Structures are given as structure tokens and as C-alpha cells.
Amino acid sequence: MAEADSPLLNAASRVGPIVAGVRGATIADRLASACAAIDGRLVFTTSLGIEDQLITHHIFTSKLPIEVVTLDTGRLFGATYRLWQETEERYTRRIRAYYPDAEAVTAMVGEWGVNGFYYAREARQDCCGVRKVEPLGRALAGAAGWVTGLRADQSGQRSAVPLAEWDAQRGLVKVAPLFDYTRDAVAAECERLGVPVNELHARGFPSIGCEPCTRALKPGEPERAGRWWWESDDTRECGLHLTADGKLVRAKATA
């Protein structure tokens, strides 16, 4: 197929001006510009981590037309469910939950065991696929934009996260309003604004996911070392942020 006939390239060139329209120095400005530039449904997927809580704060307090959703894997920490409730009460808004397909969970646990992810990478990927990736697909179905809490300095896989980019795999514009924030800057903003955060952050958990796959950090360890710590670094992502050919996120900065 000639390049000019490629649906993927045509789509990417069409969305160039939209991607460029996502801009701003502040989180609120970036989110508002995304709402203005992207025509269609915008979805923010929150894990209720500290970055996501800061974004949730701005979406809810600015009353932006962005759906706030979370993927309840069924294996989250009790502290995360408490924070979920606290956040809904604080902002008097509901965070919509997407759940894994019950039959798929039954089949996956039947094959690998309830904690099979500790014993085989394939089991871990299968569990993340059933509990996270498939529900994410449903959450983003029909969306034109996807807001995430990714920061460029979180790990080697995320080192070139831009403010906005065309996600060819999902056919939408992906927006990361905290792409240039440090962990300390996010924490300072949450403190300043009184944003509720997970109690586990103060107990050595900078990155919080499912309870069996997240541990506290030892002194000097990088931020995401506590996630799937029994695997090597280049395979450790959950599969939510992949390129069209299944590679981990390594996009060029556009802002």
C-alpha cells in the first residue's frame, strides 16, 4: 500500500493539529485545552494513585466534560477502596468502575491458580489482560481522547512521555497533563490543594496497583521497582500503555 493510502498515516496527519492544540502551562489549562481540541468523548482512567488524584481534583473542581473511570481488578488494596470512597465524598462525584468479565476471571484462575502471576510471566500477563486490559478496552470504546497520569520520569519505559500524542493502536489522542512533573511537584500540589491521597504513599508505596503485585520500596530503589518486582525491568508494565506493535511506550515529546 502506498503511504498516502495508509489509513493509519492519514489518521495521524489529520490529528496533528488536534494534538498540537493540547497545550498549557498548568494542569487545568492542559485539561481544558484537551476538551476544546478533541471533538468527542474524553475518558480519564484513574488508579487512584497520587498523580491521578491530582488530575481528578482538577477535572471535578473545574467541572470539565471528562469521564473519570477506574478499573477495579478485584485485587486492590483496602486502602485504595477507602480512598475511592473518600474521593467521591470530597468532590460529590461518582468514579465509574469497570470490572473484569467474570467468566474470563474464572477461566484464568482455573488455569493458573489464584496467585499464578508469581510463577510465570505468561500467567501475570494473562491476569493483567483479563483484569485490566480488556476492561480498559471497554472503558475507552468510542472515546476520542484518553487522559492518563503518566509522568516521563517514572521509569525507563516512560522516559519520553509527551503531553499529547496520537495513539494509533486505540485510534485516539492520548493526553498526559503531568508528563513534565516530578513526583515531588505532584506531592506538593496535592498538599497545597488538600487533595486526598492513598495512605500507602506515606508507608513506602509511591506506585500502588494490585495488592499482591505491589510492595513497599527499599531505600534508593526507583519509583516503580515495587511493581511486579520479581520480573525484569523491560517487561514490567501492565500492558495498558503499549504501541500498535505491542512495544512499551517510548514516544517522542511533542510539547
User: Which residues would be at the binding site for ligand SF4 (CB under 6 A)?
Assistant: 73, 75, 117, 124, 127-128, 131-132, 209-210, 212-213, 238
* 35 assigned to a ligand binding site: no
* 127 assigned to a ligand binding site: yes
Active site (annotated) includes residue 238? yes
Please count the CA atoms within 13 angstroms of the CA of 134 that sit on its side-chain side.
15
| DSSP state for residue 216 in the 8-state scheme | P
C-alpha distances in Å from residue 80, one per residue of 26, 48, 77, 86: 27, 7, 5, 10
Instruction: Put residue 228 in one of left, alpha, beta given phi > 0 → left and psi -120 to 50 → alpha.
Output: left
CB of 194 to ligand SF4, least distance (A): 30
CB of 126 to ligand SF4, least distance (A): 8
**Taking CB positions, which residue lies at the least distance from ligand SF4?**
210
Task: Kindly report the length of the chain.
Answer: 255
Strands (E) located in the chain: 42-45, 67-71, 96-98, 145-147, 164-167, 172-175
CB of 136 to ligand SF4, least distance (A): 11
DSSP count for the chain of H helices, then E strands: 8, 6
* 213 assigned to a ligand binding site: yes
Tell me which of 130, 140, 238, 240 is the catalytic residue.
Answer: 238
Distance between terminal CA atoms of the chain? 31
CB of 180 to ligand SF4, least distance (A): 27
Amino acid present at 209 = G
Q: Are 200 and 59 in contact (CB under 8 A)?
A: no
Question: Closest CB to ligand SF4 among 115 and 243?
Answer: 115
Any alpha helices (H) in 22-150, and if so which ranges?
27-37, 50-61, 78-91, 102-112, 121-128, 134-140
Q: Which residues sit in the known binding site for [4Fe-4S] cluster?
A: 127-128, 210, 213
- Which residues are known catalytic residues? 238
